[in-house]
């Protein structure tokens, strides 16, 4: 039954009713339903945290923290918005707590993947581009980094990012716009040196 619900959740035509049914089952203590929810969101949350930390081990630990917090918060969840926003809000808060506790700023992102079938020259060019982009993103203010990452690497809508980051949509749009302008400027500075 839960494999079917997982398929429904992953399909483009996600039925909010099916997702709510799965969440309600998990709230009642159904471990299979909870496992289905975790499996559905795990890769996206891990990816978000890995891009923020640049460290696989730290991202794995933080991802576990997110799902532990999700398990604890699930009983109090009320379906007033998208469940994915609820999960990503926990992830953003766990990431913020990590940086606050460790007094770190967001590190490099692995934004460009290298194809194994590409010739070495193309690989080197892509690695150089990836490195330049990582350095440029590192220089963005944290709020802009979050919005850029959620918008372009997790394909989230402006209104969803606003809910996750506890801001309004116009602030998110401004952060995306300013972040992109700053990235363009930073990348053009690198090209002129």
Confidence of residue 110 (pLDDT cuts 50, 70, 90): very low
pTM for the full predicted model: 0.62
List, for residues 133-150, the tens digit of each pLDDT value.
777 887 888 888 888 888
Q: Are 135 and 190 in contact (CB under 8 A)?
A: yes
**pLDDT over 60 at 58, yes or no:** yes
pLDDT in the model for residue 89: 92
List, for residues 32-55, the tens digit of each pLDDT value.
989 989 998 999 999 989 888 778
For residues 168-180, average pLDDT:
92
For residues 187-192, average pLDDT:
70
In 3-state terms the chain splits into helix, strand, coil percentages (rounded to 5) of 75, 0, 25
Q: Are 71 and 34 in contact (CB under 8 A)?
A: yes
């Amino acid at each position: 039954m839960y494999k079917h619900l997982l398929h429904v959740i992953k399909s483009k035509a996600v039925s909010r009713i099916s997702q709510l049914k799965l969440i309600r089952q998990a709230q009642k203590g159904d471990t299979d339903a909870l496992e289905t929810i975790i499996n559905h969101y795990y890769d996206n949350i891990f990816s978000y945290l890995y891009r923020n930390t640049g460290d696989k081990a730290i991202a794995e630990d933080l991802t576990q923290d997110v799902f532990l917090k999700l398990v604890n918060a699930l009983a109090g969840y009320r379906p007033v918005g998208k469940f994915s926003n609820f999960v990503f809000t926990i992830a953003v808060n766990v990431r913020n707590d990590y940086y606050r506790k460790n007094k770190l700023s967001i590190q490099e992102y692995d934004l460009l993947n290298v194809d194994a079938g590409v010739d070495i020259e193309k690989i080197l060019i892509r690695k150089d581009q990836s490195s330049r982009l990582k350095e440029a993103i590192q220089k963005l203010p944290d709020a802009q980094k979050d919005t850029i990452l959620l918008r372009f690497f997790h394909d989230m809508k402006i209104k969803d990012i606003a809910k996750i980051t506890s801001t309004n949509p116009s602030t998110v749009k401004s952060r995306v716009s300013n972040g992109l302008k700053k990235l363009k400027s930073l990348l053009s500075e690198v090209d002129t040196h």
